[in-house]
Amino acid sequence: MILRRLSCHEVRESEEAGFVAWADGALRGRRARRLARRLAADPGAGARAAAYREQSEMLAGLRLALPMNDTPDFHPELVGAVARRLQRVRRAQRAAAGAAVALLALCGVWWAAGPFSPGDGGRLVAGASASAVTRPDLSALGLSAEGEESPVPGVRAWLYRDAQGRPVRVVVAVGEEAMGRALAGLPRTHVAVQWRRGAVSAALVAPGDSPWLAQGMHLVEAALPREEPAVAPVVPAAGDGRTSAPEPASPPETDGRSL
């Protein structure tokens, strides 16, 4: 550690800062007691600190002496408009926070017991082709479908509009890289909820204040193709009353890039 000797000016400034902090009531504990002892012992310092305390009282008095409750000289609608804007912003932020919490909870549930869990047999087709995906029906969310877009080769994307006419997109891709390219240039007003199933990635891109994000994920998920269960449920075998399982279907041959 390099110690530097303080100049007289710096020492004085530090001392004055201590007096000001004491006058403002910003000092606590041992430091406040030490300064109080110093002020009691040094009349000059005590007088300066007393002047600062008087200043603090006058500054606080200014606040009371200037209540500013007269009508401001600007447009009367302005304050109301700003209040409405701030209210909307806070509401949207609360909705987004709620949606994020709901999403996290949903992902947790899915991971533990839902369609993402490895053992349930409800998986997407291994190395799936996005071309097999049909356009998800999001009309239950009040979204109107506008058509399909091709933002990046190998990616499928559908455009919808919400009630305010804002664009909402569903994107399905194979591979993280393709999805990353498809989501590049996302508008700052929008959030992308993205999830992955093996090689297939899906994303729902919507305005940040949309309250239906979790529900939208469900609907998109429902539209994704699923393979037959790898292990079929155990069924009673004919005749002898014992149980047996049929042979699992062999997985489709694919290189995982056949979008």
Site residues, other proteins (CB under 8 A): 13, 16-17, 19-21, 23-24, 26, 48, 51-52, 55-56, 58-69, 72-75, 77-93, 96, 188-189, 208-209
CB 37 to other proteins: min, Å: 20
CB 142 to other proteins: min, Å: 15
Minimal CA–CA distance to 36: which of 18, 51, 54?
18
Burial label, 156 (beta-carbon count in 10 A; 0-12, 13-18, 19+): buried
CB 23 to other proteins: min, Å: 8
Nearer CB in complex with other proteins: 61/236? 61
Nearer CB in complex with other proteins: 5/75? 75
CA separation for the pair 225, 228 (Å, rounded)? 10
Residue 182 near residue 192, CB atoms below 8 Å = no
Q: Integer distance in angstroms from the first to the last C-alpha of the chain?
A: 62
Residue 141 near residue 212, CB atoms below 8 Å = yes
**Contacts (Cβ under 8 Å, ≥6 apart) of 203:** 169, 170, 171, 172, 173, 179, 182, 183, 192, 193, 194, 195
Nearer CB in complex with other proteins: 79/232? 79
CB 77 to other proteins: min, Å: 4
Place of tokens 């449920």: 233
CB 169 to other proteins: min, Å: 18
Both structure tokens of 66? 């200037």
Nearer CB in complex with other proteins: 173/191? 191
Nearer CB in complex with other proteins: 27/130? 27
Nearer CB in complex with other proteins: 83/237? 83
CB 176 to other proteins: min, Å: 24
Nearer CB in complex with other proteins: 60/237? 60
Percent helix / strand / coil, the chain, rounded to 5: 45, 15, 40
What is the C-alpha radius of gyration for the chain, rounded to an integer number of angstroms? 33
CB 204 to other proteins: min, Å: 17
